[in-house]
Amino acid sequence: MRVRPLVFVVLTTIALGACGSSSGGRADGGTAKTVTLVTHDSFAVSRPVLAAFTKQTGWKVRVLKNGDAGVALNQVILTKDAPLGDAMFGVDNTFLTRALRERVFTRYEAKGVAAVPRALRLDPTGHATPIDVGNVCVNADRKYFADRDLAIPKTLDDLAKPQYRDLLVVENPATSSPGLAFVAATVARFGKAWPNYWDRLRDNGVKAVDGWEAAYNGEFSGAAGSTGSRPLVVSYATSPPAEVYFADPPPTTAPTLALDQTCFRQVEFAGVLRGAAHPAGARALIDFMLTRRFQADMPLQMFVDPVLPGTPLPEVFTKFATVPTDPFTLSPARIGRDRASWIDEWTARVLR
């Protein structure tokens, strides 16, 4: 079985070389000074910033994106005996325990990590380096509430009040990362009584859809490209600035508002993969992610917040983003232990 595929693939490659030669060349990235970053689909960095890294260190970067955060991490776990790359970016606090338990990273203390606030350094074992922060918050359609002279809700408890009946749409935590984060927010807020809160939300007409796209573009009335009619949706603290940034022409006020008392904090980490072919390049890349240059690039690329205090923010962020003063948090260990049972409980309460 080991020889035949080899022969076959070589033959096919030769036979078809003529058709795809222009593109086939892109496949080989294994030159001496190339570091490979494994990440999820939402990763983005601007070209000049990546070029600056290559100029500073001599390392070129090859980026492998695959699937959402969960899929990307699971692929890394499945391939840990023969890693796909050298560094990984995009493990968040809901998946951190799994990554550490599966020992996909080697220990590395990145230069500059000391400047990151202690609350964000969630890996005491020193394998995963925090790179960015995002907050999952309920977003509100300002126009809807203004038109009806209805006060925009403020807290999780408000969402269960009768005046906000049939207004909220959430994502299924089994298939959606913001969906899970919002369930985690309710666990952090209500403790053991969190399932009762969902009973109240269900009785108040909460709608659950599969993923963020269906919720935000499909059900939410405040999104620019939306066909929906519900004015409250679980999304991100940076969705309002994104609405402004991606509008043509940009409006002077954001059409939506993130409710700062409904937010759950997600921290994303990077690490050097165990068994990496180019660990030096991986370490250099992670160091670079904690430099001001990269940190300042992230907001408009990935719509997340930098972890380095004092990083200059783009104007759409300072003007329109909600910075939750005291977001809900849970320890990665707690999330790792309970996520499956939360999902089961939530499914039983809300869907059945």
Partner 1 sequence: MARAARTLLVAGPLTFLAVFFLWPVGAILARGLVTDGSIRLHSLTDVWRDPGLRHVVGFTVAQAALSTVATLMVALPATAVLSRFRFRGRAAVVALLTMPFVLPTVVVGTAFRSLGITGSLTAIVVAHVFFNVAVVVRVVGATWRGLDPREEDAARSLGAGPVRTFVTVTLPALRPAIVAAGSIVFLFCFTSFGVILILGGPRFATIETEIYRQTAQLLDLHTAAALSIVQLVAVVGALYAAGTMTGRVRSITRTAAGRRVPTSIRARMLLAVGLLPAVILVVVPLGDLTIRSLAHGGTGYTHLATTPFGAPYSPLDAIVTSIEIAIVATVIAVGLGIALATALTRPGRRARGARLTELLVLLPLGVSAVTVGFGFLIVFDTPPLDLRTSWWIIPIAHTLVALPFVVRTTVPVLRAIDPRQREAAAMLGAGPAQVWRAVDLPVVTHAAKVAAGFAAAISLGEFGATLFIVRPETTTVPVAIYRFLSRPGATNVDQALALATILMLLTGVVALAGERRTRLETRLETRP
* Binding to partner 1, residues 161-220 (CB under 8 A): 172, 174-175, 208-214, 216-218
3-state class of 36 per DSSP? strand
Q: Does 243 bind partner 1 (CB under 8 A)?
A: yes
Tokens standing for residue 202: 């269900």
Total Cβ atoms within 10 A of residue 229? 13
- Is the Cβ of residue 4 or residue 192 nearer to partner 1 in the bound state? 4
User: Measured from the CB atom, is 116 or 305 closer to partner 1?
Assistant: 305
229 binds partner 1 (CB under 8 A): no
Distance CA 140, CA 160 (A): 15
Binding of residue 14 to partner 1 (CB under 8 A): no
3-state SS assignment for residue 234: strand
> With b meaning 16 or more CB within 10 Å and e meaning fewer, what string describes 174-210?
bebbbbbbbbbbbbbbeeeebbebbeebeebebbbbe
Residue with tokens 């969705």: 239
Considering the rule CB under 8 A, would residue 22 count as an interface residue with partner 1?
A: yes
Which of 203, 247, 312, 337: binder of partner 1 (CB under 8 A)?
A: 247
Helices (H) and strands (E) in the chain, counts: 14, 11
Q: Which of 60, 65, 142, 349 binds partner 1 (CB under 8 A)?
A: 65
Phi and psi for 125 in degrees, rounded to 5? -85, -5
Helices 177-190 and 194-203, packing angle to 10 deg? 120
Looking at beta carbons only, is 26 or 192 nearer to partner 1?
26
Secondary-structure percent of the chain, ordered helix, strand, coil, rounded to 5: 45, 20, 35
Q: Which whole-number Å values give the CA distances from 206 to 162, 165, 166, 234, 279, in the listed order?
A: 12, 8, 6, 11, 48
Question: Does residue 221 interact with partner 1 by CB under 8 A?
Answer: no
Q: Which is nearer to partner 1, 248 or 326 (CB)?
A: 248
State the number of binding residues for partner 1 (CB under 8 A).
Answer: 77
The contact mask relative to partner 1 for 110-149 (x = CB under 8 A, - = no) is ----------------------------------------
Q: Given the complex with partner 1, which of 47 and 118 has the nearer CB atom?
A: 47
The answer to whether 230 contacts partner 1 (rule: CB under 8 A) is no
- Which lies closer to partner 1 via its Cβ, residue 94 or residue 129? 94
| Piece in contact with partner 1 (CB under 8 A), picked from 35-43, 116-124, 265-273, 304-312 | 35-43
Nearer to partner 1, 116 or 128 (CB): 128
Interacting span for partner 1 (CB under 8 A) from 119-127, 160-168, 236-244, 257-265: 236-244
